[in-house]
Amino acid sequence: MSQKSTRQLDFRGRAHWSYFAYYLHRISGLLLACFLPLHFFLLSRALNGEAELASYLKLTDFPIFKFGEWALVTLLALHLIGGTRLLVIEFGVWKGLRKAWIQMAVLGSLVCGGLFLILSR
Quickly list DSSP for 29-76: HHHHHHHHHHHHHHHHGGGG-HHHHHHHHGGGGSHHHHHHHHHHHHHH
- Digit-coded pLDDT (tens) for 32-62: 999 899 889 888 888 888 888 888 888 888 8
CATH level 3 topology of 18-119: 3 helical TM bundles of succinate and fumarate reductases (1.20.1300)
Q: Global pTM? A: 0.71
Q: Where are the domains of the chain?
A: 18-119
User: Which helix (H) or strand (E) covers residue 88, if one does?
Assistant: helix 63-91
- Digit-coded pLDDT (tens) for 87-110: 887 787 766 567 777 888 889 899
What is the average pLDDT across 4-25?
75
pLDDT at 1 over 70: no
Question: In this predicted structure, what is the pLDDT of residue 111?
Answer: 93
